[in-house]
Amino acid sequence: MPRDFASRIPPWPRSDTADEAALLDVLRSRRWWRGNGTQGDDFEAAFADALDVAHVRLVSHGTAALELALSALGVGPGDEVIVPACTFVATASAVLRLGAWPIPVDVEPETLNIDVALIEPAIGPRTRCIVPVHMAGQAAAMPAILHIARRHGLAVVEDAAHAHGARAFGRPLGSIGEASIFSFQSGKLMTCGEGGAVATNRADVAAQSFALHSCGRPKGDTEYRHLMPTTNMRLTEFQAALLFGQLRRLPEEMALRDRNAPVFEAGLRDAGLEPLATKPHVERHGRYMTMAWFDPAAFGGADAAALSASLRRMGIPAFRCFPPVHRTEMFAGDALALLSGRSGRAPDYARMETPVAERAAREAIWFAHPLLLGDEALVADVAAAVASLRTPSRPTRQATQPESEPA
Ligand SMILES: *Cc1c(COP(=O)(O)O)cnc(C)c1O
């Protein structure tokens, strides 16, 4: 089997001549800025339509979208926000940036989504909000999460950075909580290099969102009015122009991924891995990541970092699962002490135990979605390449392994 997959993986991000024309149009219009162009406004309307929500605000990054959504919902210094322990760090670091404390809650082993049974015990008098992540593109248990949130008067912000086009519970993901966020960073399912969005049906969140993303200024202001202390999170018109093509191609790409995913997952099972389970509530899986558990003992003791590095050396886009957010260095030492000044005493992160997230960091790897945009032969060959890394621990009848020892 060829060991270099790099040339076989479909290129990502994708673009076509319509994207080239759209970029050239913006270039020649000289309206490169959100303040005098129309691309940002038009894409906000198109994305709101696609999500069936009242309002979308485009911003510079998914991380910025989290900050915007949380601050529009009133999260501030000393508050607590419940986040899954297993996620990209932005879900938690955006909370820290607001002077609030993320409270990591462990995830379910089957899906790596937040474990609903562990949410209520993590709620305290300072809790303001729950931020479920639709991990890898699979819907978190939104009805149960909303139920808990209602009972405690909390807001829910969906982190839908992995979930463009995904659906569950009769709704597009990103349209279920008080607000949601998307990322358009280069690796995500829709991208313009860097970018993000906040979606919401809440008029008050929408009303604040323009000023919050634009130095505190209301839309159309020419008088240097600045309503609130915030930052600049505006997206350029070039980026907004690219997002139309990303949205247009999404259904076709989702269909391709849906076709290849079962073949890939079956191949991974044959290789001894256990792909995350898909819950019955999933109507459409985003398939941002193909995430799977493996047994390090079957791979010569390799942990997720080592196994994924071996796969990358073959040109396969494979990565270790995220470390638990509160095990990153920003949750220790000086980084945290700095925040404690303005936010009160930090929670005791060192003592918070999230065993499933800890195990995922060592024993789960993920494959990037462009793999699923190829054909069935590609995903089958990738799975076979994974299998080839297993340690031959048992005697096999293969003639190529004469040295295999007796049982
Ligand atoms: C990518 C990502 C973000 C942040 O997106 P950026 O656009 O890179 O800032 C937030 N949450 C999750 C779960 C992500 O994977």
Using the 8-state DSSP alphabet, how is residue 276 labeled? P
Taking the alpha carbons at both ends of the chain, their separation in whole angstroms is: 29
Do the beta carbons of residue 323 and residue 305 sit within 8 Å?
A: no
CB of 163 sitting under 6 A from ligand 1? no
Q: What is the pLDDT of residues 29-66, one digit of tens each?
A: 999 999 999 999 999 999 999 999 999 999 999 999 99
The best mutation among 188, 239, 291, 319 to test binding of ligand 1, ranked by most ligand atoms within 8 Å of the C-beta, falls on: 188
Compute the distance from residue 64 Cα to the ligand 1 centre, in Å. 9
147 has catalytic annotation: no
pLDDT band, very low/low/confident/very high, at 4 (cuts 50, 70, 90):
confident
pLDDT band, very low/low/confident/very high, at 393 (cuts 50, 70, 90):
low
217 has catalytic annotation: yes
The best mutation among 61, 67, 87, 88 to test binding of ligand 1, ranked by most ligand atoms within 8 Å of the C-beta, falls on: 88
What is the spatial distance between Cα 375 and Cα 189, in angstroms, rounded to a whole number? 18
Q: Is the pLDDT of residue 129 over 90?
A: yes
φ, ψ of residue 82 to 5 degrees: the values are -85, 130
Beta bridge partners of 293: 274, 364
Q: What is the pLDDT of residues 181-232, one digit of tens each?
A: 999 999 999 999 999 999 999 999 999 999 999 999 999 899 999 999 999 9
Average pLDDT, the chain: 94
Given the structure tokens 């909370």, which residue do they identify?
95
162 has catalytic annotation: yes
pTM above threshold 0.85: yes
The DSSP code sequence of 285-325 is: ---SEEEEE--GGGGTT--HHHHHHHHHHTT--EEEPPPPG
pLDDT of 1: 54
Tokens at residue 337, please?
A: 């002490």
Q: Is the pLDDT of residue 399 over 80?
A: no
Q: Is the pLDDT of residue 372 over 90?
A: yes
Atom of ligand 1 nearest to the CA of 194: 7
Produce one character per residue of 181-192: b if its CB has 16 or more CB atoms within 10 Å, e if not.
Answer: bbbbbeebbbbb
Compute the distance from residue 181 Cα to the ligand 1 centre, in Å. 9
Do the beta carbons of residue 289 and residue 137 sit within 8 Å?
A: yes
Report the residue count for the chain.
407
pLDDT of 407: 46
CB of 60 sitting under 6 A from ligand 1? no
Compute the distance from residue 61 Cα to the ligand 1 centre, in Å. 8
Q: Is the pLDDT of residue 397 over 70?
A: no
Q: What is the pLDDT of residues 326-347, one digit of tens each?
A: 999 989 877 777 777 777 888 9
Q: Which position among 55, 128, 134, 188 bears the catalytic label?
A: 188
CB of 94 sitting under 6 A from ligand 1? no
